[in-house]
Structure 1
Amino acid sequence: MDDLQIASDADSEQSLWRDWLASKAAKVRTRLFFFYSHWVRVVVAHLYSRYPHPLAEWNDYVNLASIGLLQAIDRFDPQLGNSFKAYAEPYIKGSVLKGLACYVKDRRTPESERLASLAQESGGGEDLSDLERIANVAIDLAFGYFLEMGVIEQEPVDNNPLSLYEAERGSLDLAELVKHLPANERQVIEGHYFQHLSFSQVSELMGVSKSRVSQLHGSALKRLRGAHRGIDDDQF
């Protein structure tokens, strides 16, 4: 079974590169990006432990590495017969180290982008009071933090088996909901929360405007909130 899975992955990888060479379409680059995302996190884990930075967090390393991955995808030529991972690793390492060298800690941008996105979504067409809109925005922000801290990196506060089980169960629930989002909303959530890309980077990756990414982000979190409550949303 393992050999069959390896063969299947290789076929999928080659197919993605053929599609990319033929079209250079943003949606194909996005698929390549997420195809290699697990491997990138393994590389990041090594860089994170070997090159600690007093101001940078895990998410910052992932973000910088993701930029390097995109650069490598744009410049790699699979027809030369080289391994993409061997080709891409120096780009990823270089992006991380250069980013850390001039890194200034500032979390205001992603948080303000999320808030603006959710505030815009909450104002659309619903017969809600101002208090209810504020409450919905707060709940959606919380879902975003759950995605960022729960699905991505599970770090329970202790080694109690029950704590580990509850963290894993909650993460799996949210991860499963994300899988059922419409494709464009899922790409925004995965890119922003799983790969820690800014809205601008997600818009470049997907080939859409930043305002469209903001809109998709707001609608995706609203959909996740409704699904998590067990509401039968016919759009989900």
Structure 2
Amino acid sequence: MATQTPSLRSRGIELLMEYQHNPSVQLRNRLVRLNAGLVRKIAHRVSHQCSEPYEDLEQIGFIGLIRAIERFDPSQGCAFSSFAVPYIRGEILHFLRDRGNTIKIPRRWQDLQKEAQKKQLDLIHQLGRNPSDDEMANVLKISVAEWQEVKIAHKNRTPLSLDASVRPQDEPHPTTLGDTLPDAHYEVLQSLDEDRQQLQRAMSQLEETSRAAIEHVFLHGLSRKEVAEQIGVSPMTVTRRIHRGLKDMVDLLQPQVLQTDP
């Protein structure tokens, strides 16, 4: 939603709040269309990092967007774009992971590796030991340098265990590969908390009438008619106050969103 106009962004916030209280396929599809640009942006970026067609990545990204819409809670104070990006990107990355190895090895080297496995067993049987690089290169009829590249490529294709040490084991507290990975859950919670604080600051700067209307309808779950009866105005007036308040919030949040959205 980072590239949307303020009016569209305001409408998006309102639709998300409506969807939480009254979810429907029609409303969800409107939200998907409204945020389609976010999916296309991520799919386009990932398509330059893999061999999968952009169209396939885009379709998978929309699945992530739908999951984000279904799980989004506006009352948590998070910008939807920040919330949706991990779902969209995560769905695409899961798709790529399931499609096969991310490290692509030339077909020639894959064929050489398969042939080498058979030849190596024969040489071990003949020599009574593991063959040297020179002996393997000779039986495969390739250079020693190419054989060493084939071995390195095959080794790098094998995933490392998260328990693999990245520091000497003799240190008092050796670090494993898993220790170096960021805590994705903590990062999401941290991002949500930052967005919540931004939203609260924006709410606090609204006019009292607009802020009260938004809180009654979207946070307390009251209908516009119920709010109108409580404060002594017409439902249309409540709707206008909500629209004005959402537009003001978008104006207040927009500079920060443009800085933080990917």
Q: TM-score range by the shorter chain?
A: 0.3 to 0.5
Q: Whose radius of gyration is greater, 1 or 2?
A: 2
